[in-house]
Amino acid sequence: MSEPAKQGRVALFGATAILVYLALFKVLLHLLTAGNYGYFRDELYYVAAGERLDLGYVDFPPLVALVARITHVLFGDSLVALHVFPALAGAVVVVLTGLMARELGGGRFAQGLAAIATLIAPTILVFGTWLSMDAFDQLFWVLALYVLLLILKRDRPRLWLAFGLVAGLGLLTKLTMLYLGLAVFLALLLTRARRHLLTAWPWLGGALAFAFLLPYVIWEAVHGWPTFEFWSNYGAKVDPASPVEFIVEQIVTMQPPTLPLWLAGLFYYLFSRDGSPYRALGWIFVILFAIFMIQNAKFYFLAPAYPMLFAAGAVVAERFAGRRNWNWLKPAYPIVLVISGIVVAPLTVLPVLPVDTLARITGAAGGDAGVQVETREVAQLPQNFADRFGWTNMTATVARVYEGLPAGERPRACILAGNYGEASAINFFGPAQGLPDAISGHNSYYIWGPGDCSGQVVISVGVPRERLEKEFGEIQRRATVRCEYCMPDENNLPVYVCRDSKTSLREDWPRFRHYD
C-alpha cells in the first residue's frame, strides 16, 4: 500500500474519524426521530421564555431561553428545529469523552469505547431529545472537566481562565455548576494538585465564572429572590430515594453494561498509581456522588461526571486487553454496549416506537420501571415520553370553550392555566386557533404577570376549583380535557368559565403565585 493510501486509511479509520462518525450518528439519530411524538412540556416553556428574554427566570438562568430565541430566528419552532442545538451539544460531549481518553493515554480503541459508552448512556442520550437546559449543562460540565484534565496533565495554570469561562457559561445554564465548582475545590485540597490554589490563576478563573453569574444575581435581587423560594419547594417534587436506591438508579440509568467501565475508571485508574496525576478527577466524582445522594437530588444531576470515568475506564480496558492479548475483547465489549443501547433506548429515551406499542411495553412495567424522576404519578409511559402528549388536545378543548362564549365576551376573556406547561402549550398552539395568550401563577409566568386580563371573564384549565371559588362568584364547568398517553395529572382536567370577579385580577395576582 502506498504512503498516501496509508494516510488516507488512517484518516478514514483513525481515532479522530471514529469520534466524528459517532458524533454525526448521534446528531442524525436525534434529528431523524425528533418529530415522532410531540413537544415536551419544558421546551414549550423555554420557547415562551425565549419570547421574553431577560437576565433570569424563576427556575432557570437565561441561557436556554436565549438558545430558544436563536433557534426560532434561525430555524423556526418545529420539533426538528428545536432539537438542533441539544443534539449538537450531546455530540460534542461524545467527542470530548473520546478526547479525555486520548489525554489519559488511550489509543483508538479506548477513545472509541469511551465515546460509545457516553453515546448509549440513557441519562445522557435523553437530553438530546428535547430542548432543555440539561443538554447544555452536561456540555459545560464535560468541557470544564476536560479543561481541568489538561491543567492537571500539562501544568498550564493559565488554563484556569478557560475553566472559569466554561464554568461561567455553565452557571448561565444551570446552577448545578456550583456543585461542580465546590467539588473541584475540595478535590484539589485532597490531592497534590492543591498547589494550584497557591497561585492566582484558579481564583481568577473563579472570579471570571462569577462575573457571568452576577447579572442573574442582580435579577434575583430585583425580583425578591424567587429562585430561593423555588428551591425550597423543589424537594417535594423529587421522588424520595434511599442511598441504595440512588446507587441502583445510577447503574440503571447509565446503562448496566457500562458499570465495569466506570468502576474501572474510578478505582483502577484515577485512584491507582498510574492515575495519581489525575486523582482530583476521582475525588470530584466521589464528592458529587456523596452530595447528590445525601441531598436526594434527581439522579441525572450526576450524569455529566461519568464521561471522565468512561474515558479512564476505557484506557484500563485497552491496557488490560493488550497485556493479556485478549484481542476479542476489543470488538466484543463495544458490541455489547451497542446492543444494550439498541434495546434500551427505544423503551426509555428515544421516540422511535409507535406510541401504542411503547405504552403496552412500559405500561406492563409500571410506566417508569421503578426509575422515577419526580413524585408525579405516571401511567403507561415514563414521564420523559408522557410529557410530550396531550398539549394539542388540551389547547383544542380550551379553544372550543372560548368559541362557545357569547360574542360580546370573547374580546375581554382571558385564559388562566394552572402550570407553565399548560400555559406554554396554549401560547404555542393557541394563536392558530384564535386564542388569547394564557397566563399562570406558576414560576416565571407569575413574574410575567396577568397582562391586560381584567378577570371579568376567565377560562381556567388546571387551576383547582377551590382556588377559583375564592376569586370568582360564578364558576361553570364547560369541558374536560382528556388525553390517552399524557401524564395522569394532565388528564381529565376540568375547564371552567369564571365570571363575577370579587376583586381585580391584577390586585389578586399574588394569591396565584406558586414557585415549585
**DSSP calls for 168-227:** HHHHTT-TTHHHHHHHHHHHHHTSGGGGGGGSSHHHHHHHHHHHHHHHHHHHHHHTT-HH
pTM of the full structure:
0.93
C-alpha cell at 175: 446552577
For residue 101, report the phi and psi dihedrals to the nearest 5 degrees. Answer: -60, -40
Q: Which letter does DSSP use for residue 238 in this model? A: B
In the prediction, which pLDDT does 11 show?
64
Beta-carbon contacts of 104 under 8 Å, excluding residues fewer than 6 positions away, are: 110, 149, 269, 275, 278, 311, 312, 315
All three cell numbers of 242, joined, read 434511599
DSSP letters spanning 433-454: GTPPPEEESBTHHHHH--TT--
The secondary element (H helix, E strand) that includes residue 473 is: strand 472-481
Q: What is the C-alpha to C-alpha distance for residues 314 and 99, in angstroms, rounded to an integer? A: 12
**pLDDT computed for residue 371 by the predictor:** 54
Give pLDDT, residue 296. Answer: 86
Q: What angle do CA 345, 351, 355 make, to 5 degrees?
A: 110
Residue 414 amino acid letter: C
Could you say which residues of the chain have pLDDT below 70? Answer: 1-11, 236-239, 366-377
C-alpha distance from residue 144 to each of 82, 118, 141, 277 (Å): 25, 16, 5, 17
Burial of 411 (0-12, 13-18, 19+ CB in 10 A): exposed
pLDDT for 399 equals 97
Which residue type sits at 79?
L
Closest CA to 70 of 90, 91, 56, 84: 84
pLDDT of residue 507: 87
Question: What Cα–Cα distance (Å) separates residue 189 from each residue in 49, 60, 168?
Answer: 40, 30, 22
Task: Supply the pLDDT for residue 508.
Answer: 87
- Phi, psi dihedrals of residue 26, rounded to the nearest 5°: -65, -45
d(CA 79, CA 82): 5
The 10 Å Cβ neighbour count of residue 75 is 14
